[in-house]
Amino acid sequence: MLFTNSAKIETTRLTIRLVAHDDLPALLEVNSNDNVTRHLPFDSWKDMSDAEAWYERAMKRHEAGESWQFVIVLRETNRVIGTCLLFRFEETSQIAEIGYVLGQAYWRGGYMREAMTSFIDYAFNEAGVRRLEAEVDPRNAASCKLLERLGFVKEGVQRENWVSKGEISDSNLYGLLRKEWSVATDAVL
Ligand SMILES: CC(C)(COP(=O)(O)OP(=O)(O)OC[C@H]1O[C@@H](n2cnc3c(N)ncnc32)[C@H](O)[C@@H]1OP(=O)(O)O)[C@@H](O)C(=O)NCCC(=O)NCCS
């Protein structure tokens, strides 16, 4: 078990905690925006039934120990402004993948870098992860830049690795090792 239900990470401006059913209306606002979902592996949510279906899948994956879905709360307003997750955890190799989504109104405020700095710290130091990976559409400049600022190394391009929204695309594979992390945090903070 990587995370307990009480897992909670506090950063300067944000709280990161496991998703709850009450978060769905705020998450509908985030995920109903085509600009937000452009490079995500799901279509924009249309209504609460999409939110409920997503939540049901997330809960099944929690129970199976496959992935942990968190929300990012802006403490000043107590508003859920995004999500992050740890998934594809391989216990033997201690590898996991990260993903993240932020509501468009909050882009470029340094929020995801702040959230990911503490989330990665938690994954490496508390949750038993040794290597973190991220797969990103090369056209997703914001996500590529964020990962590079966090110290991830671009390890290659997986050609025609995705079919999303009817379109074939490559994906950049990024990796970050626990043993590199203290060096990386020194560099980015
Ligand atoms: C990717 C995403 C989470 C970035 O969140 P954010 O809070 O805006 O990012 P930050 O403000 O922390 O910025 C991190 C770095 O990326 C840079 N950046 C952010 N948006 C950028 C953009 N559109 N183009 C180029 N660089 C960008 C920032 O300047 C910053 O670099 P710096 O520290 O050198 O200035 C956000 O754009 C998002 O949610 N996108 C939609 C969902 C998505 O694509 N998720 C990732 C799927 S792989």
For ligand 1, atom 26, which residue shows the shortest CA distance?
142
pLDDT of 189 higher than 60: no
For ligand 1, atom 33, which residue shows the shortest CA distance?
149
CA angle (110 as vertex; 128, 71 as ends), nearest 5: 50
pLDDT of 185 higher than 80: no
Ligand 1, residues 42, 44, 112: which to mutate, most atoms within 8 A of Cβ?
112
**Residue 38 near residue 137, CB atoms below 8 Å:** no
Cβ atoms within 10 Å of 144's Cβ, excluding its own: 18
Enumerate long-range contacts of 87-96, CB under 8 Å, 24 or more apart: 87/61, 88/133, 89/2, 89/65, 89/129, 93/130, 93/131, 94/128, 94/129, 94/130, 94/131, 95/129, 95/130, 95/131, 95/132, 95/133, 96/2, 96/123, 96/127, 96/129, 96/131, 96/132, 96/133
Residues 36-74: tens digit of each pLDDT? 999 999 999 999 999 999 999 999 999 998 899 999 999
**Residue 63 near residue 57, CB atoms below 8 Å:** no
Residue 43: DSSP 8-state: P
The pLDDT assigned to 184 comes to 66
Atom of ligand 1 nearest to the CA of 82: 39
Atom of ligand 1 nearest to the CA of 116: 12
Asked which of 1-5, 26-30, 160-164, 169-173 is least confident by mean pLDDT, the reply is 1-5
Asked which of 3-7, 74-78, 103-107, 114-118 is least confident by mean pLDDT, the reply is 3-7
Q: Is the CB of 28 under 6 A from ligand 1?
A: no
Q: Is the CB of 109 under 6 A from ligand 1?
A: yes
Residues 107-143: tens digit of each pLDDT? 999 999 999 999 999 999 999 999 999 999 999 999 9
Distance 98 CA to ligand 1 centre (A): 15
> DSSP letter string over 99-117?
EEEE-GGGTTSSHHHHHHH
Band of residue 2 on the pLDDT scale cut at 50, 70, 90: low
Residues 141-167: tens digit of each pLDDT? 999 999 999 999 999 999 999 998 889
Q: Is the CB of 116 under 6 A from ligand 1?
A: no
**Does the predicted TM-score (pTM) go above 0.75?**
yes
CA angle (15 as vertex; 141, 59 as ends), nearest 5: 85
